[in-house]
Amino acid sequence: MLNQQARSIDLIDETDQSRVNVYRLLARLLREPPDAPLMSILTQMTGDESELGQATVDLAKAAGTMSLADVRDEYNVLFIGLGRGIFTPFGSYYLTGFMHEKPLARLRNDMRPLNIARSDDVKDPEDHAAALMEMMAGLIDGSFGVAQPLSVQKTFFDSHVGSWTPHFFKDLEACSSARFFKPVGRIGRLFMAIEQGAFEM
């Protein structure tokens, strides 16, 4: 979804790599329905006794009991629909009720100095939840040229991620039409809270 620069791999610690992994998982699941290889990987995930760990277990169970077709149908109902799905996972829409509003313009302004750019083959605006998850992962691991310090990550998170995605993930978790994506929403909600708490320390 985003252009990433060729680079030498930045060495990041285990905690940051775990953060990157969750951001990239959320990005992949929100971008499009999972394919067979991803579903196989999801069924093998395990978790500890924490809320996030149990949400991960619930996602693994859903992946193991639902067919690819059922998950694809659920994704379409939630995010595509006939004209529009149940959810419109864009920052401008969540913050203003309309697409292509000031939150998107502010995001684009903040992307430029960080060398983040939308891929030419992507039609969705940059404030899609999946794109923002990818941006956060890239800021941590240096996918856009250089790993950014926590201060930059925090500013970007506060401005463009923490301002609305916790509400989106909470709504997704509570959606009666969501079965596979209910634990995705729970993982997102819990992880956003963990990120917010860590940035405030």
Please give the helix or strand (H or E) that residue 117 lies within, else none: strand 117-118
Q: Using an 8 Å Cβ cutoff, are 147 and 141 in contact? A: yes
Among all chains, which residue has been given the structure tokens 């404030």?
127
Going along the chain from its start, the domains and CATH numbers come out as 13-200 (1.10.3480.10)
Q: How many Å apart are CA 175 and CA 78, to the nearest integer?
A: 9
The first and second tokens of residue 28, run together, are 């992949």
Q: How many Å apart are CA 151 and CA 172, to the nearest integer?
A: 29
Q: Indicate if the pLDDT at residue 154 is higher than 50.
A: yes
Where residue 8 falls among pLDDT bands split at 50, 70, 90?
A: very low
Q: How many Å apart are CA 20 and CA 70, to the nearest integer?
A: 28
pLDDT per residue as tens digits for the range 67-99? 999 999 999 999 998 778 999 999 999 999 999
The chain-wide mean pLDDT, for the chain, equals: 94
pTM of the predicted model, to two decimals? 0.94
pLDDT per residue as tens digits for the range 44-58? 999 999 999 999 999
